[in-house]
Structure formats: C-alpha cells, structure tokens
A and B are shown apart, each in its own frame.
Chain A
Amino acid sequence: MIIIKKTELARAMARAQDTYILSGPVETFHGHTFRHLEPGQTPDLSYQHTLVSPKAVVFPPSDPLLTFSGNDWTGPDLAGLPPQAAVGIRPYDAKALHLLKYNFDTPEYKDPFFLSRFENLTLVGLAENQPDPANFSTSCGTGPFDETGLDMLLVDLGDALAGKILTDKGEAFARAAGLVPIPAEKKTAVASTIAELKTRAEKSMTSPREFGSLDPVSTLDLYEQADWEALAFGCINCNTCTFVCPTCWCFDIQDEARGQKGVRLKLWDSCMSALYSAHASGHNPRQQGWQRFRNRFMHKLKYFADKYGAGPMCVGCGRCIRLCPAGIDIRTIHQALSRLEAVT
C-alpha cells in the first residue's frame, strides 16, 4: 500500500516516464479522453469517464501491419517495446482489455500487435468513488473498486491517493515512480477508508440484478423468437455504440498508398455497418439494420458468453447507453431477452 499526495503526482509520473510510456485520462475540448501522455504531462485523475474507451492502448484505431516499398514489405519490429503503463484506467475498462484478449490470443493464432502491447502493459487503476448513472459494471462481474485485472488500484482520498499494489508489475511501477509503502500501522486505517468508499460507491449504483447469463435459452431461440425488429426500432446503425465500446474488437484491413510507398492498416470497424458483412457478390446475410443490431447484441450477450464462459462481452461502462442517439439501452435489451427465457 502506498499513499501519494496529489501535489506530488506530477513528480511521480515524471519519474515513471523515465521507464514507462504512459497513457492516462486527459481533458479535451470534447470531454475526457484516454491517450498517450507527453513527457511531463500528468494524468487528470479528476475525471469521471472517458467518451471513447482506453482500448486504443492495446488496440489502436489505426495500426500499421505492414509497410510497402514497391513490391517489398516489412512488418514493424514489435520486440523490445518499452514498458507501458495506463495510469488512472477505470477497473471496468481494465477488465475490458482482458476480455479483448480472448479474441486476440487463441490456440490457433496470436495477434502480435495486441499481445506485444498487452503483455508489456501495467494497469494502474483508479477506483470510481461516484459512479456515473449509466455505469452498471457491478452487474458485469467488475465494479467501481474491482481489483481483478489491475496491477495497482488507486483510490481518491481527497488530498491524496491511496494505492494498493496488486502484482509484481504494480510493484515495479511503484518503484519506478518513487512511491514508497506506508508504515504498517497506518495500513489498517487506509484499508478501512477504502472499504467504506467502496461500499458507498456500489450502493449508489442502480445495476440490474441479473445481467449476462442467458444460458437456459438456446442460441436459436434467442435468435429467432425475440422480436428483434421491435427491439431495434430507433436504431440508425450509426456505429457509435461499437466505436466507444471497450470490448468491441471488429476491425478492417485496408491498404493506403502514395506511389510506390504504402502501408497496410488494421482499422477499427463496426458490425453495425451494412458493408461489414456484405459479400463481394452483393449478397449480405445481414442486409437489414435490425439484423445487424441482432448480431451485435447476440454477440455481446450470448455468443461470447457461450464460447468463452467468461460472462457477457460487456463490462457495464455505460458508454453505449450515454451516447446512443436513439436511447437504446443494453440493459433493456438484456431484460427483453431474459423475459423470453422466462416464457420458454
């Protein structure tokens, strides 16, 4: 356990930057975002949530896979990347990175772009003392003070931050930032304060009691029997939900070139887009918007859960709820599917 005064945070981060490439929450014109920190830049730990999730730390929106020069190509050198640390990441976003790993680290194939960053990353979390009204992370197996998946958890105590060191990576980060453990006699009092803050934060949340487990209903029953056209009413397939989601991993691969020079890019994509699943022949198995809506929610709530046994592909961050222009709420969709479960 460490304690750091907020007035000393900048100095600690500057020390950490001698060893780590840092990313963290930064205030922008449009609100907070999670991004790479320039030398000397301090993460703004007063934030509540970031509009776009921090998944870009391991899965950038645009990631060069190959560089072309004429007919020759080379991949980037991913070995020997300097260690990175995401400072001030919310526990639900840290869990999301672990869910992404299910997709990028498979027995058959390993995505070196994701994994080289993920394995090299230290996650320094920041507990959420006052959760956003759309946050329902406790329903998704995480929560505002969840420690799983983190290397260190920071808790805002007002003038200072308490830090629970959770792994060897967290220990190494604390050393690099010059953070020293607090005396043993003070530990109990700090732990008690953290426990109180945690209870208060979790009580303030209005999370649905059940979320995620749709096990009793078969995939085909959910797929065919739910009134998906009604559920999707209002959805304009704008893709916002997928781009802000911390667990969505769909991507496209495109070449960009000027003359003989070019680059092959892995780019975030969205299953809500009509072109996403359109065949070269013109046939599209998900031609209608509601069919793409169905695929998204089936993937989040059923396919992923069944395939990996790791719960839903959702961490309850609430971004898709806050930002959906049609007011679609994943909790409502889950509720409708659960009602189907009750009937069948």
Chain B
Amino acid sequence: MNNPYEPYPVTIKEIKTETADRSLKTFTFAFIHQADEAAFSYRSGQFAMLSVPRVGEIPIGIASASSEKGIVKFTVFKTGKVTTFLHNMKQGDVMGIRGPMGNGFPLEQMTKKNLLIIGGGFAFTTLRSTIITLMQPDVRDQYGTIDVVYGARNPGMLLYQDELDQWCRQPGINMHITVDETDDPDWPHHTGFVPAVAGECAPESTGNSVAIVCGPPVMIKFTRPVLADLGYGDENILMSLENRMKCGIGMCGRCNIGQELVCRDGPVFTLAYLNKTPGEF
C-alpha cells in the first residue's frame, strides 16, 4: 500500500523574488529521484503539498506547466510558519513535495472554445500554468480566442512580470492587466478591481466560451454577476477554490463544501455545480 502522506524529496534549484515587498517568491524544484518526477504527472490547476521537514506542510497551486520538463515551480506567499521558513531556505536545500492533488482544469474538454481567464492576487499562480500550457505552439491552435484579466493590489505586486510583458506582446493572447491603485502616471495598463475591469474588457460569451476564475473569495463573489452580464452560463464558468486543506487527499475533512471535498473533488468546480452546494468558500 502506497503511503500518500510521504513526500517526494526535491532540491531547490532556483528562488526568484516576485514582488516589491518580497512577500512572494517563486521556487523552482528538481526531483532528486527520476522515478518521482515521472510519478508526479500533473495538469494545470492542480496543487501539491510543499513539505518542509520538521516544520510542516502547505498546499500550493502548481505554477509550472507539465511542458516545463525537469522542474516544478511554486509561487509562495510568506504568511505563516511554513511559508516563512521556506522563504528563508536557499538554493540547494532539500525538502519534499506531495502530490499532485485535485482535479485541475479540464482543458481537453474546452478545445475549439474561446477562453476567458480571470485571476486576482497570488491565485494567479495556477493560471500561469494554464497560460503556459495553452500557449504551446501545438496546443494554441486547438482553442479560439484567449483573454486574460489579471489584477494585483499595485504594480509591485504583479507576479511573473517578465512573462506578463512577453504575453502582452505575443499574438494569440489578449492580456488585460489591472492594479487596484498606482501612483505611476505612466502606468500602461488598467486601474481598478478585477471584476470591474473584466466587465469593461472581457469579451462577451459567444455561446462557445468558457471562463476560468481563480482568486480570493471576495473577487470570485463580485466576478460572478459580471460574467452573467457577459453571457457566460454557469455551466461554462470554472472556479478554482481555495478552502483550507491539510491532508490534500480528502480524508482530514476540513475543506468540505457540503459533501464535496475541495482537495479531492476540486479545487475546480463549475459554477452550476457550486450553485447546488452550500456556499462555504
């Protein structure tokens, strides 16, 4: 019997500070054993437990895409005991990864559809994985238009700034970047909350469109009516939720929404499905 609580050992290959306040860092890990890398087969929208020996574990969305061979990336917000310890670790340090967990985005069911991707804050981390996956040359042609609305509190809090610049210039993807506020008079993107910017910039549903939403609960709450106004049916709105998790395999009980467990049955649900469950997210 496999032990689902036992992590794979990994080394920290690279650490990149993402934000001006240094609260978010992206960690690139390499598996120590090749067999573990093969076993850790994942899709965008899934998450994993980052396991710091003698300190604890935390669930974090996978930021890399499976097309990025040999590594796996996680962007981590420094907020508690484990994340603070992790932020102080160095390149070459050994730790663990347990997963992959959850269902991820069913991208293969969305081929030939127009995609609207909406993200806020550091929840954008799993959407990076999705965008990288979708922008692969052999994948991009399988989809219609791709629009991305991404917001952060201020310009310094935007993640993956080099890649954002690149995606803004790249054909095949329409980027709509926004910040809640900025003092920069030359700020080239939007100012305002994500739901409002989505209402202004996101394309209306053609009836063949799917929206993928990932962000804090308050952003999800205010984005729902905007998507309804744009004509997205609840069946075509995918939400990635962030309930508290400990085991990641549906056994510890804490991430339930009704009888569903976010870690095992989610974190991705259609809004139509969530409408039938207690709104505990």
- Give me the interface of A with B, judged by CB distance under 8 Å: 65-66, 68, 70-73, 75, 78, 103-104, 106, 108-113, 115-116, 219-220, 223, 249-255, 257, 260-262, 264, 266, 269, 271, 276-281, 283, 285-286, 291, 295, 298-299, 302-304, 306-307
B231 at the interface (CB under 8 A from A): no
16 pairs across A/B with beta carbons < 8 Å? A73-B6, A73-B53, A106-B264, A113-B5, A116-B1, A219-B277, A251-B252, A252-B246, A255-B57, A277-B244, A277-B280, A279-B243, A281-B79, A298-B258, A298-B278, A299-B253
Q: Are B216 and A283 touching (Cβ within 8 A)?
A: yes
User: Which among B58, B80, B256 is the interface contact of A303 at CB below 8 angstroms?
Assistant: B256
Partner of B246, one of A113, A253, A262: A253
Chain B residue contacts of A266, Cβ below 8 A: 5
Chain A residues in 8 Å Cβ range of B271: none
Separation of A108 and B100 alpha carbons in the complex (Å): 12
- Interface of chain A, main secondary structure: mixed
Task: Select B53's contact among A75, A116, A262, beta carbons within 8 Å.
Answer: A262
With both chains docked as a complex, state the minimum distance between the C-beta of B254 and any C-beta of chain A, in angstroms.
5
Q: A75-B3, A111-B4, A253-B246 are in contact. Are A271 and B258 (CB under 8 A)?
A: no
- In whole angstroms, how far apart are the Cα atoms of A206 and B58 in the complex? 47
A70 CB contacts on chain B under 8 angstroms: 53
Asked whether any CB of chain A lies closer than 8 Å to the CB of B250, the reply is: yes
Any A CB within 8 A of the CB of B94: yes
Other-chain residue from B7, B93, B278 in contact with A219 (beta carbon distance below 8 A): B278
Q: Tell me if A255 and B252 are in contact (CB < 8 A).
A: no
A114 to B267, CA, bound (A): 25
| Contact among B77, B253, B277 with A249 in the assembled complex (CB-CB below 8 Å) | B253
Interface residues of chain B: helix, strand, loop or mixed (majority):
loop
Task: Give the distance in Å from the alpha carbon of A217 to the alpha carbon of B58 in the complex.
Answer: 37
Residue among A115, A261, A286 with max Cβ neighbours from chain B (10 Å) = A286
Q: Mark B87-99, 1 if CB is under 8 A from A, else 0.
A: 0000001111000
B156 at the interface (CB under 8 A from A): no
Question: With A and B bound together, what is the CA distance between A286 and B251 in angstroms?
Answer: 19
Interchain CB contact under 8 A, B53 and A254: no
List of A residues within 8 angstroms of B264 by Cβ: 106, 108-109
Q: Quick check: A303 and B258 within 8 Å, CB to CB?
A: yes
Contact partners of B57 in chain A: CB under 8 A: 253, 255, 264
Q: Once the chains are docked, how many angstroms separate the CA of A285 from the CA of B58?
A: 19
Point out the residues of chain A lying under 8 angstroms from B167, CB to CB. none
Minimum Cβ distance to chain A for residue B97 (Å): 12
Does B50 sit at the interface, judged by CB under 8 A?
no
Give the contacting residue for A220; candidates B55, B58, B255, B276; CB below 8 A: B276
Contacts A276-B254, A277-B254; A251 near B247 (Cβ below 8 A):
yes
Contact B247 A253 (CB under 8 A): yes
Q: Tell me, rounded to whole Å, the shortest Cβ–Cβ distance linking B234 to chain A.
A: 15
| Chain A residues with CB under 8 A of B164 | none
How far is A303 from B259 in the complex, measured between Cα atoms in Å? 5
- A291→B281 CA distance, assembly (Å): 13
Q: How would residues 152 to 164 of chain B score, 1 for a CB under 8 Å from any chain A CB and 0 otherwise? A: 0000000000000
Q: Verify if B249 is at the interface (C-beta below 8 Å from A).
A: yes
Chain B residues within 8 Å of A306, by CB: 259
B242 at interface by CB-CB < 8 Å: yes
CA distance A75 to B276 in the complex (A): 40
B54 at the interface (CB under 8 A from A): yes
Q: Which of A104, A220, A278 contacts B251 (CB 8 A)?
A: A104
Counting CB contacts under 8 A, is B109 at the interface? Answer: no
Interface centre among A219, A251, A280 (most CB of B within 10 A): A280
**Chain A residues closer than 8 Å to B251, beta-carbon distance:** 103-104, 106, 109, 111, 249, 251
Closest to A291 in B: B280
Q: Are A285 and B281 in contact (CB under 8 A)?
A: yes
For residue B178, give the distance in angstroms from its CB to the closest CB of chain A.
Answer: 20
- Which residues on B sit within 8 Å (CB–CB) of A251? 246-247, 251-253
A219-B277, A223-B278, A279-B243 known; A108-B250 Cβ under 8 A: yes
Q: Are B277 and A106 in contact (CB under 8 A)?
A: no
User: Are the CB atoms of A71 and B95 closer together than 8 Å?
Assistant: yes
**Residue with the greatest number of chain A CB neighbours at <10 A, chosen from B3, B7, B79, B83:** B3
> A106 to B250, Cβ gap below 8 A?
yes
Min CB distance A265 to B, Å, is: 11
CB closest residue in chain A, given B94: A71
